[in-house]
Chains A and B, each alone.
Chain A
Amino acid sequence: DAKTTQPNSMESNEEEPVHLPCNHSTISGTDYIHWYRQLPSQGPEYVIHGLTSNVNNRMASLAIAEDRKSSTLILHRATLRDAAVYYCILRAYSGGGADGLTFGKGTHLIIQP
């Protein structure tokens, strides 16, 4: 299964943009790029997903490299409530890979007031 690589931790200041990188050099053509986050003592929360084009929603933006080997989750204006572990996960569009979501260790995002 395709794997993702993320920095262990990142730090940012409140009200500033945050760019969380993810490398997935072995991504297949049928893999969607998903991002989840997990706040302290809570279950993971879906943030955004994309296939080839950049995506925006109310929580964040997802920028996908043209070759799809990397992506960046963008939080436009971080707040203290965005402090969480962020997971970049590949999810197959159709069968053939492992079931479920394969979680790595993610990026621990620290927001300074």
Chain B
Amino acid sequence: NAGVTQTPKFQVLKTGQSMTLQCAQDMNHEYMSWYRQDPGMGLRLIHYSVGAGITDQGEVPNGYNVSRSTTEDFPLRLLSAAPSQTSVYFCASSYTRWGPDGYTFGSGTRLTVV
């Protein structure tokens, strides 16, 4: 099925560990982005990409790295996990950076850092 696929769905990390959250889309969308959602809050933008090889920071980028080697994939790396990074992470994509088209979101990765 066309859409945004995120893996894993759940993850528990120890403080200081690193990991990569995977995101893949099969809709040929140029624009991809990562958000985090904390309890009772709206989503906040971490990083985004306007195309392969191009990434930039969003509102809350500290502690996270991204890369975009292909149009389809946009992994999010946690370099040294901290309890403050306990959150639900969503990947989203759209055809363009600006304009009317809607975003397609993945189902999320629930991360707990202990």
Contact = CB atoms under 8 A, between A and B. Distances in A.
Query: Contact residue range for chain A?
Result: 20 to 34
Given A100-B45, A100-B58, A103-B43, A32 B100 contact: yes
A44 B90 contact: yes
A51 B101 CA distance: 12
Nearest to A33: B100
Among B40, B58, B97, B98, find the residue whose CB has the most chain A CB atoms closer than 10 A: B98
Given A32-B100, A46-B103, A49-B102, A100 B108 contact: no
Interface stretch (A12-20, A61-69, A76-84, A89-97): A89-97
B43 A44 contact: yes
A73 to B, nearest CB: 14
A42 B50 CA distance: 25
A93 B106 contact: no
Interface of B: 4, 33, 35, 40-45, 48, 56, 58-59, 90, 92, 97-100, 102-108
Interface of A: 32, 34, 36, 41-46, 49, 51, 87, 91-95, 98-106
